[in-house]
A and B are shown apart, each in its own frame.
Chain A
Amino acid sequence: MDKPMSLSANADGLLRYRDDAPHEEPAVTLDAFLGQTNATAVRIEAGDDARALIPHLGQIALVEISFPSFRDGRGYSAARILREAGYDGELRAQGDVLVDQLLPMRRCGFDSFAPESEIDAATAEASLSRYENFYQKAADGVVPIWKKRHG
């Protein structure tokens, strides 16, 4: 996965850590995707099994993962599973995405955020850059503290 670049915000309130243009094709449901062959954008609901996408990652340009409530953390696991399987397309968190959730989302591999209530890009940037180091290896390519300690 690419190293973090700067956060950009577009007119729809979409926040992105990607240099390419946002994918335009509407995302289809997981069931619809698995039933057809040519879709390139998929929407994962909180209860869906993200692993079902793994055989098809090569054709997907956008995975949108739904957060029906910020308290529902299933999307974090879905994101990591996809990144761990090698997915490098756009991974978008959509729904009840609040500024204080951006950092763990980013660490789990999300590089795009579509919050229901707009998040100011500067506040988001501040929240995302507050911590310099992390204990765990995750899906954001950050070198964990234990590795920095021991080289």
Chain B
Amino acid sequence: MYKYDTYDQQMVDNRVEEFRDQVKRRLAGQITEDQFKPLRLMNGLYLQLHAYMLRVAIPYGTLDSRQMRMLAHIARKYDRDYGHFTTRQNIQFNWIKLEDTPDILAELATVEMHAIQTSGNCIRNISADQYAGAAADEVADPRIWAELLRQWSSFHPEFTYLPRKFKICVIGADEDRAAMRLHDIGIQMVMRDGVLGGRIHVGGGMGRTPMIAPEIRDFVPADDLLSYLEACLRVYNRYGRRDNIYKARIKILVHEIGADEYRRQVEEEFIAVKALGLDPPQAEFERITQMFADPAFVADDGTAVDRSDPDFALWLDQNVKPHKQPGYAIVNISLKPQGGIPGDATSAQIDLMADLGERYSFDELRVTHAQNIVLPHVRQADLYTVWQQLDAAGLAPANLDLISDIIACPGLDYCSLANARSIPLAQKITERFADPARQRDIGELKLKISGCINACGHHHAGHIGILGVDKKGTENFQLSLGGSGAEDVSLGKITGPGFDEDGVVDAVERVTETYLGLREEGERFLDTYRRVGMAPFKEAIYG
């Protein structure tokens, strides 16, 4: 894992003091809310329905047990004993007091954490593949490049007042576990002729105008990565639309001028920028790389995992993934219990996950964009013990990527932007599909719910997506089918007229029944949908 040096530490310490001063000026009336809002947002502090909400950055979703315990401590001391893991691999606290935030940030800084740029029209927290450094199919470790980008983007002076927010994702494998092409910039690290570099996609995103990012450069050598991104951002900062907030994301610029013209402008800018010497030297890449070296894996003794406990075996098959190192496995902790709130964890659960990460996963944990937690490096010999402890804490639902592993934004229960409540709907769907055998029969089915058009719940990328809207003061839900955030990326299509809350649960059930009736051998829901199209599903729902 990356460890701060004195420069990194000084930066977050300085930021705490700067924000303390800004809060003081706000409380003293020296600045208005209008002036304070962008300052607090750039430190992840929102005003939501019930209180202030603080979004703490978890850079590329990676944290150690000390950091995880600090999150539990913040929840306990300053909030209401729980936190909400988000679709951008961060965590949100829902009941924060403005007057406490400088102290919270000071506590976070003691464990190399912060809330810098978790909101605002700037480059947000960099996201990455949650299996980085553990996945069997990895070409390059994306964390190294995500960390480089974290430093480059932190307080970037030119890109602090962009037309709109800006999200960057880095992956290092062909399998896309991080919805890479649905980001403003999506980078896939690849090897070409023995040289490491990035495939650069620009202009993806969800929100009200979902777009899949086109490839802008098939290869940028790693040495030039920052210069190239600097050029990408500069073109956007200069020419992105500022006349209409709904058209201000880079995807609109790329779409309006076309990928070819955008590419031409970036290449032109890149020539100018490349001459400036903005890229760190090889020694800096090596310094960061060393910090992401493999932990001290022990040799596989060849013992097979004892599957005699049937509940454990189900969890093993569903939530545990192969590791690059023989004798190890990747453990997914599902934060999606039946009837629960997707992504929420209590302080006690967070502490337990920290303990397990420390003891059984080389002190490492990951947060996934699907709002789950990963223990990336668990010895197969320890899996049963880990499962027992998770199960005792309600943290062992065996439902990874099944219909009850729902992504849901906080929705109208918490969020001031929302039009409808997402969480009660997620709860009803998990109750309807409560039978685990039925879920496993349906198989991989990614269901994603957003409570408004901003699409924090990734509904466009759901195999089944649900969007909550406000229909004359009542909650209404639109259903869409066929989205994917994986390497087979696609955007869902709306089935037709919307439903009330119970109606959309019924519609989801009809969709799954239709799939079960139509599927061919080995087909996931998404495969069947792509083969047969919308018609049979529409007929089943509305016919």
Q: Contact residues of A with B, CB < 8 Å?
A: 46, 70-74, 76-78, 80, 84, 98, 100-101, 103-108, 126-127, 130-138, 144-150
Contact = CB atoms under 8 A, between A and B. Distances in A.
B252 to A, nearest CB: 16
Contacts of B136: none
B435 to A, nearest CB: 51
A100 B22 contact: yes
B284 A131 contact: no
B340 interface: no
A84 B157 contact: no
Most buried by B among A98, A134, A147: A134
Interface stretch (B181-189, B274-282, B451-459): B274-282
B513 to A, nearest CB: 50
A85 to B, nearest CB: 9
Contacts of A137: 276-278
Contacts of A80: 158
Contact of B11 (A77, A84, A108, A131): A131
Nearest to B163: A73
B184 to A, nearest CB: 15
B120 to A, nearest CB: 10
A135 B152 contact: yes
A150 B7 CA distance: 13
B121 interface: yes
Nearest to A84: B276
A130 B234 contact: no
A146 to B, nearest CB: 4
A99 to B, nearest CB: 9
Given A101-B161, A149-B283, 8 more contacts: A71-B161, A98-B35, A104-B157, A132-B14, A135-B152, A135-B155, A136-B155, A146-B280
B25 to A, nearest CB: 9
Contacts of B272: 84
Nearest to B280: A146
A86 to B, nearest CB: 12
Nearest to B282: A150
A70 B161 contact: yes
Given A104-B158, A104-B160, A149-B284, A136 B152 contact: yes
B79 to A, nearest CB: 27
Contacts of B277: 137
Nearest to B286: A150
A131 B155 contact: yes
Interface of B: 5, 7, 10-11, 14, 17-18, 21-22, 35, 38-39, 121, 151-152, 154-163, 234, 237-238, 242, 272, 276-278, 280-281, 283-284, 287
A135 B11 contact: yes
A43 B3 CA distance: 46
A8 B38 CA distance: 27
A73 B11 contact: no
Contacts of A46: 242
Nearest to A67: B161
Given A135-B152, A149-B5, A73 B162 contact: yes
A132 to B, nearest CB: 6
A78 B38 CA distance: 22
20 contacts: A72-B161, A72-B242, A73-B162, A77-B158, A77-B237, A77-B238, A104-B160, A105-B157, A126-B21, A127-B18, A130-B14, A132-B10, A134-B155, A135-B154, A136-B152, A144-B280, A146-B151, A149-B7, A150-B281, A150-B283
Contacts of A101: 161
A149 B242 contact: no
A62 to B, nearest CB: 21
B238 A133 contact: no
Interface hub of B5, B152, B162, B280 (most chain A Cβ within 10 A): B280
Closest 4 CB pairs of A and B: A73-B161, A107-B157, A146-B280, A104-B157
A71 B158 CA distance: 12
A133 B11 contact: yes
A145 B151 contact: yes
A136 B5 contact: no
Contacts of A100: 22, 39
A77 B234 contact: yes
Given A135-B151, A145-B7, A108 B157 contact: yes
B236 to A, nearest CB: 10
Contacts of A145: 7, 151
A147 to B, nearest CB: 8
A98 B14 CA distance: 19
